Chain A
Amino acid sequence: DTAVSQTPKYLVTQMGNDKSIKCEQNLGHDTMYWYKQDSKKFLKIMFSYNNKELIINETVPNRFSPKSPDKAHLNLHINSLELGDSAVYFCASSSTTGSYEQYFGPGTRLTVT
């Protein structure tokens, strides 16, 4: 059983399209995160949710909108995709907000052409 799963694993799409990435965790954790690994390989936090409530919202274009239907799911919707959105997106979860032990999904490689 995968602890944190993401779908799809790969996503290739054209500029201007809208796409979603789904994340689910079966660890019973209260907090979930989205990270972006950019071209320079830094992993940067985008959002965190605790029990469906937005806790952290970093400086991310408002084309990115997270949605948490329940505490086990955190989806990422991206509108009007741009070339610069190409990256690997990781979902993660932890038992509490700010816990340093986070459990990551396998990542979604998004390529915008």
Chain B
Amino acid sequence: DQQVKQNSPSLSVQEGRISILNCDYTNSMFDYFLWYKKYPAEGPTFLISISSIKDKNEDGRFTVFLNKSAKHLSLHIVPSQPGDSAVYFCAARGAQKLVFGQGTRLTINP
């Protein structure tokens, strides 16, 4: 039933290393894929997007990879910084709406 899933509820990474967050989807009609970041007591904020016709999009320390054949996307953060500690939501757009995953809590350890 859930069209977008993040199977890792949490991830712990050492500061300076690479963080890799994963997301799987089932609907091949999605046209954009997004990552949102959420701090406690705040709403999610848009981080980065990728069109379904691309396989990579980079913005500074953040890179999103899309593998359409596997219906999988990932977010790479390098190098990871303490301020990156947050919950990351994967989302996909289809039929004028966003479908979100359940989030992965990323903790960056000093």
A→B interface (CB under 8 Å): 4, 35, 40-45, 48, 55-56, 90, 92, 97-98, 100-107
Question: Which secondary structure dominates chain B's binding surface?
Answer: strand
Chain A residue numbers with a CB within 8 Å of B2 are 42
Chain B positions 31 through 73: 1 when the CB is less than 8 Å from some CB of chain A, otherwise 0: 0101000000111111001000000000000000000000000
Chain A residue numbers with a CB within 8 Å of B101 are 42
Q: Which of B44, B97, B102 contacts A56 (CB 8 A)?
A: B97
Chain B positions 68 through 110: 1 when the CB is less than 8 Å from some CB of chain A, otherwise 0: 0000000000000000000001010100111111110000000
Chain B residue numbers with a CB within 8 Å of A35 are 100
B→A interface (CB under 8 Å): 2, 32, 34, 41-46, 49, 89, 91, 93, 96-103
A48, B91: Cα distance in complex, Å:
17
CB-based nearest A residue for B4: A42
Determine if A43 and B96 form an interchain contact, defined as CB atoms under 8 angstroms apart. no
CB-based nearest A residue for B31: A100
CB-based nearest B residue for A91: B43
Contacts A40-B102, A42-B2 given; does A104 touch B96 at CB 8 Å: no
**In whole Å, how far is B106's beta carbon from the nearest beta carbon of chain A?**
14
A71, B34: Cα distance in complex, Å:
25
Contacts A90-B43, A104-B43, A107-B43 given; does A45 touch B102 at CB 8 Å: no
Chain A residue numbers with a CB within 8 Å of B91 are 43, 100
Determine if B97 and A98 form an interchain contact, defined as CB atoms under 8 angstroms apart. yes
9 sampled A-B residue pairs with Cβ under 8 A: A40-B102, A45-B97, A56-B96, A97-B96, A98-B96, A100-B46, A101-B34, A101-B49, A104-B44
